[in-house]
């Protein structure tokens, strides 16, 4: 009987104990203000408000995790005869503390410096004036370009979140997070074919964010 209880205790500890390593995938919602004057395609919910998340965290102390996470925002469409794609990648190194309210219920709080990146790509099967049409909206002069190219920009930011996690088992849990993305973004000094150009105005300085993630524990 004693061996039975010891075996049951060990099994329960394995099932419900805190995993050291976490893999996180999920989605989120935020509400940036992004300029979409002609000829830029009109932007909808999937392009402006939806975030796709992934990340990983590792427990370094009994109630502290460090991790890396990325959240993506996408916008697809067309400009003239060309394909248009805009993406923003919010990239963070997170420091998270957590508290177990009950055996399967966790409250956590995270702070994270960010290095974010934006990209605008316009591609066509033949030479077009669609790049000039796009750039002129932001006051840029004509630039000689290939049929396909990308303009990019990186900037720093900061995020903070408070979250709640429910453990179905040691290997699987669901998590909700509420917080902010804070950004130093400016529409100046995007890079395109070695040239500095003005990019899209985006009001993303301080954005409330809500996220829902599936957490796999190892």
CB of 51 closer than 8 Å to CB of 72: yes
Tokens standing for residue 73: 């925002």
pLDDT (tens place) for every residue of the chain, 218 residues total? 555 444 444 444 444 457 889 999 999 999 898 876 778 888 877 778 999 999 999 999 989 999 999 999 998 888 888 888 999 999 999 999 999 988 899 999 999 999 999 999 988 766 667 777 888 888 887 666 666 789 999 999 999 999 999 999 989 999 999 999 999 999 999 998 888 999 988 899 999 999 999 999 98
Q: What is the pLDDT of residue 102?
A: 86
Q: What is the pLDDT of residue 151?
A: 92
Spatial separation of the C-alpha atoms in residues 181 and 128, rounded to whole Å: 37
Q: Global pTM?
A: 0.84
Q: What is the pLDDT of residue 5?
A: 45
Spatial separation of the C-alpha atoms in residues 110 and 98, rounded to whole Å: 9
Tokens standing for residue 165: 């996690």
Tokens standing for residue 99: 């508290």
Domain hosting residue 116, numbered range? 2-217
CATH number, domain of 121, equals 2.40.160.20
Spatial separation of the C-alpha atoms in residues 196 and 42, rounded to whole Å: 25
- Residue 217: CB partners within 8 Å, gap ≥ 6? 18, 19, 21, 22, 170, 171, 172, 173
Q: What is the pLDDT of residue 24?
A: 97
Q: What is the pLDDT of residue 68?
A: 97
Q: What total of structural domains would you count in the chain?
A: 1
């Amino acid at each position: 009987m004693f061996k039975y209880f010891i075996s049951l205790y060990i099994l329960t500890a394995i099932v419900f104990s805190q995993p050291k390593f976490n893999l996180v995938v999920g989605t989120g919602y935020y509400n940036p203000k992004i300029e979409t004057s002609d000829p830029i395609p009109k932007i909808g919910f999937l392009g402006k408000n939806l975030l796709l998340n992934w990340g990983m965290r590792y427990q370094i102390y009994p109630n502290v995790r460090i991790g890396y996470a990325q959240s993506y925002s996408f916008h697809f469409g067309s400009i003239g005869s060309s394909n248009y794609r805009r993406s923003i990648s919010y990239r963070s190194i997170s420091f998270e503390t957590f508290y177990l309210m009950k055996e399967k219920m966790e409250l956590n709080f995270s702070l994270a410096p960010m290095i974010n990146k934006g990209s605008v790509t316009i591609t066509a099967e033949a030479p077009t004036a669609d790049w000039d049409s796009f750039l002129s909206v932001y006051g840029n002069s004509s630039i000689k370009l290939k049929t396909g190219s990308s303009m990019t920009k990186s900037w720093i930011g900061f995020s903070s979140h408070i979250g709640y996690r429910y453990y179905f088992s040691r290997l699987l849990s669901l998590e909700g997070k509420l917080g902010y993305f804070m950004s130093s973004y400016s529409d100046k000094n995007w890079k395109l074919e070695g040239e500095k150009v003005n990019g899209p105005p985006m009001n993303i300085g301080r954005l409330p964010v809500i996220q829902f993630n599936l957490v796999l524990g190892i």
